[in-house]
Amino acid sequence: MKTRYKKIAIVGAGAIGGWIGNKLAKNGAEVSVLARNETLANINASGLKLFEDNAESIVRVKASDKPEELGIQDLVIIALKAPSLPSLAKQIKPLIGKETVILTAMNGIPWWFLHNFGNALKNQTLSSIDPDGALQAAIPADQVIGCVVHASCSADAPGTIRHHFGNKLIIGEPSGGNTNRLLELEQLLSSAGYETNVSPQIQKDIWYKLWGNMTVNPISAITNATTDQIMGDDLVRDFASHIMLEAKLIGSKIGIDIDQSPEDRHVITRKMGAFKTSMLQDVQAKKQVEIDALIGAVHELGQKVNVETPFINALFGLSRLHAKNLGIY
């Protein structure tokens, strides 16, 4: 397939980044990985491994902890957890040329969320995500394409990924509409085996996914509960519903209308069963948690559009304090 995306670098070869990198390499792309420590050692020694559909796939990719060794890429896929990105933002600049497209496959609200979007908040920055503007300075928003991942993967070991369920990627331009680079990216991802949808406004897809996991993720982290336990407790589920109603109102102020009720979304969450959220997994592994991207940014947006958020405030404060006391925030 003829494509502008010949050289592709994965920044963050964890569960999602490793899954995407393996499948793109298997499809013939020239994939490299920016990695460190044990992940770097394992990939160089044994390749990037993926267990999917009861089969093991191993691809050999170029891996380095020095971005200048990888050079300028056609496509850079950032699949880091949000707390890890600020420290890497300046370091990844050697990967980015004037024509490089940057695909952000991350949870929560990204730093570019209000780029050419948000009604009265259009082009404002979010201090909860990018307090000193380092991300905006290092990673040009005009070169970004957003991605919402609907899949569950885990890392059996550094550089060894296991896919559990879900195969959907939603991609879109922050400024909205279709572009040649977006449609070529859809072709690339589809040819690698993904169910790839092009969104006319990617911020809406980001917000809709966030509308569900901004509650169950922090609540699970605080309580050590799986999603079925959260949904099964009437008081906790009601707390989550009130948070979602506040977020729904915030969304309407910035141009995102949700035509569902919280209970409609709870039906979807219940179908996941005894699911352990990514934030609970991070707490148990003593890793930094994505509190600012999942709920801190929503709290900030509420302040900016003058929506009172007592329930969001409570969850943000409790989850932040919990993580601070564990040394993971």
> Quick one: CA torsion of 138, 119, 289, 131, rounded to 10 degrees?
50
Chain centroid to Cα 260, Å, comes to 23
- Euclidean distance between the first and the last CA atom of the chain, given in angstroms as a whole number: 44
Q: Classify strands 48-52 and 30-34 as parallel, antiparallel or unpaired.
A: unpaired
Q: Is 249 helix (H, G, I), strand (E, B) or coil?
A: helix
Task: Enter the tokens of residue 117.
Answer: 């979007």
CA distance 100 to 98: 6
Q: Classify strands 160-172 and 48-52 as parallel, antiparallel or unpaired.
A: parallel
CA distance 205 to 209: 6
Task: Give the list of residues 6+ apart from residue 184 with CB closer than 8 angstroms, or none.
Answer: 3, 4, 5
Annotated active-site positions, please?
Answer: 209
Q: Classify strands 160-172 and 144-157 as parallel, antiparallel or unpaired.
A: antiparallel
CA distance 31 to 246: 42
CA distance 175 to 188: 21
DSSP character for 282? H
CA distance 107 to 82: 7
